[in-house]
Amino acid sequence: MKGFSKELSDMAKCPVCEKKYKKQNATVLEIGQKRNTVHFSCEACRVSSLVFVSQDQMGSVGVGILTDLSGSEAKNVFQKESVSTDHVLSVYSHLETISASK
Ligand SMILES: [Zn+2]
């Protein structure tokens, strides 16, 4: 995905306190052609979130959800369970449905 890092760092911020994430807060879980999944932990309020970034004709779209997992835990889940990818996909398409109906 071209320009991923810059675009992601532009849109990545804490959903709770809105502090901008830094690169060192990020754990990359999955890099795909059209979808990337990154775990962020906020250094200000300690809240963790998963950010899904997808790319379509309109450009990059980022969706963040809060999680209890730490970066390394999330990485384990993503690496060990192929099922979890389907789960994430279903969560993601659910989120897409919500944002589309707004
Ligand atoms: Zn925060």
Distance 75 CA to ligand 1 centre (A): 20
Helix, coil or strand: residue 24:
helix
How confident is the model over 15-25, as pLDDT tens digits? 889 999 888 89
| Interval 56-71 mean pLDDT | 85
Residue 12: which pLDDT band, with cuts at 50, 70 and 90? confident
Ligand 1 centroid from CA 13, angstroms: 8
DSSP, res 73: H
Ligand 1 centroid to Cα of residue 43, in Å, is: 7
Please, what is the average pLDDT of the chain?
A: 79
Q: What was the pLDDT predicted at 1?
A: 45
Q: What is the pLDDT of residue 8?
A: 67
* DSSP-derived 3-state class of residue 88: helix
Using the mean position of ligand 1's atoms as its centre, give its distance from the Cα of residue 20 in Å. Answer: 8
Instruction: Let me know the angle formed at the C-alpha of 46 by 17 and 3, rounded to the nearest 5 degrees.
Output: 70
Alpha carbon of 21 to ligand 1 centroid (Å) = 9
CA distances from 102 to 54, 55, 65, 95, 97 (A): 19, 20, 17, 11, 9
Cross-strand pairs, 65: 50
Distance from residue 57's CA to the centre of ligand 1 (Å) = 31
Q: How far is the CA of 46 from the centre of ligand 1 (A)?
A: 6
Supply the pLDDT for residue 52.
86
